[in-house]
Structure 1
Amino acid sequence: MQAYEFIEGYEQVIDRFGRWPSFHDGEVLRIILDRSLRLPGGPSIPSVEVYLRGWIMGPELADDGRYTLHNDSVIHFLFEDISAFELEGFNQQNVVTSLNLELSGEPQGGANVLHVEFEHCYQFCCAFIARRAKVVDLRPYAEQPASLA
């Protein structure tokens, strides 16, 4: 199993981009931390929502001299039951070198967990472990609400 296959709905990303993208030079537009979900009579289940802009960069140049971006989109991820959360350098431009995913089993033979790293490019970086993950939504960047554009 590829690590991205741990993410429920990963097929939407494959369908949009033709493959799982590296998200090189992608940008984290929004992060929402939430601990309000609770198990009945139990502890909170922390989650993080990430809105990540990504594309496939083409070899051709646009009129302005920049490489053409194909399928420019925003993917809304939800990661649940997170731990070991680290965030650094959130700023006006949260560009990442890549989105790194790795699966590993929990100690004592438990279920797989997903190690998530938004590798830094310009100050911003973020890493955590999630027990569940899913693609909530995927839309062309041009169709995003003004608050995300």
Structure 2
Amino acid sequence: MQAHEFIEGHELVIARFGLWPSFHDGEVLRIILDRSPRVPDGASIPSVEVHLRGWIMGPELAEDGHYKLHNDSVIRFLFEDISEFELEGFNQQNVVTSLNLELRDEPQSGANVLHVEFEHCYQFCCAFIARWAKVVDIRPYAEPPASLA
């Protein structure tokens, strides 16, 4: 199994882009950390939801001189039962070099876990281990409205 196949709903990303993208120059728009109790005995299962903007960059140039971005989208990921969470440099533009995924064997259970790394590009980086992952949804990217001055 390839590491992205560990993520439930990974087919939605492949259907949108035609492949599993590297997310080079993608941008983390939102991170939500949650430790709310979600199991019958009241135990907390820490999770992180990440909204990641991604696209496929074409070889052709747009009118503004930049490469055209195809299928510019925001993918909402949910990672649950996370551990070893690290976050650094969250700022006004959280560009990543890539989204790196690696399957690892958990020593205690022998089950697969997913090591997730949003690789550093400009100040921002994030890494953690998740026992479960899902693509919640994927939507076309829409520019945020201009702020009111």
The Cα offsets for residues 70-113 of structure 1, whole Å up to 9 and x where unpaired, read as 00000000000000000000000000000000001111452100
RMSD over equivalenced CA pairs, Å: 1.3
2:69 aligned residue: 69
Give the SS at the match of 1:107: coil
Pair 65,145 (structure 1): closer, same or farther in 2 beyond 3 Å: closer
Q: Indicate whether 1:100 and 2:121 are aligned.
A: no
Q: Supply the distance in 2 between the matched residues of 1:37 and 1:43 (Cα, whole angstroms).
A: 5
Q: Supply the distance in 1 between the matched residues of 2:37 and 2:97 (Cα, whole angstroms).
A: 31
Structure 2 gap segments, 5+ residues each: none
2:34 aligned residue: 34
Q: Supply the distance in 1 between the matched residues of 2:30 and 2:89 (Cα, whole angstroms).
A: 13
Q: Supply the distance in 1 between the matched residues of 2:13 and 2:5 (Cα, whole angstroms).
A: 11
Work out the number of aligned pairs and report it. Answer: 145
1:122 aligned residue: 122
The Cα offsets for residues 125-147 of structure 1, whole Å up to 9 and x where unpaired, read as 000000000000100103x775x
Give the SS at the match of 2:15: helix
Which of 102-111 and 74-83 deviates more?
102-111
Q: Supply the distance in 2 between the matched residues of 1:73 and 1:36 (Cα, whole angstroms).
A: 28
> Once the two structures are aligned, what percentage of the paired residues are identical?
85
The structure carrying a bigger helix percent of its residues is 1
Which of 61-70 and 103-112 deviates more?
103-112
Q: Which runs of 4+ in 1 moved over 6 A?
A: none
Superposition TM-score, scaled by structure 1 size: 0.93
Give the SS at the match of 1:95: strand
The Cα shift of 1:42 comes to 4.7
2:133 aligned residue: 133
Q: Supply the distance in 2 between the matched residues of 1:39 and 1:75 (Cα, whole angstroms).
A: 26
The Cα shift of 1:50 comes to 0.1
2:48 aligned residue: 48
2:110 aligned residue: 110
Q: Indicate whether 1:58 and 2:58 are aligned.
A: yes
1:86 aligned residue: 86
Q: Supply the distance in 1 between the matched residues of 2:2 and 2:37 (Cα, whole angstroms).
A: 28
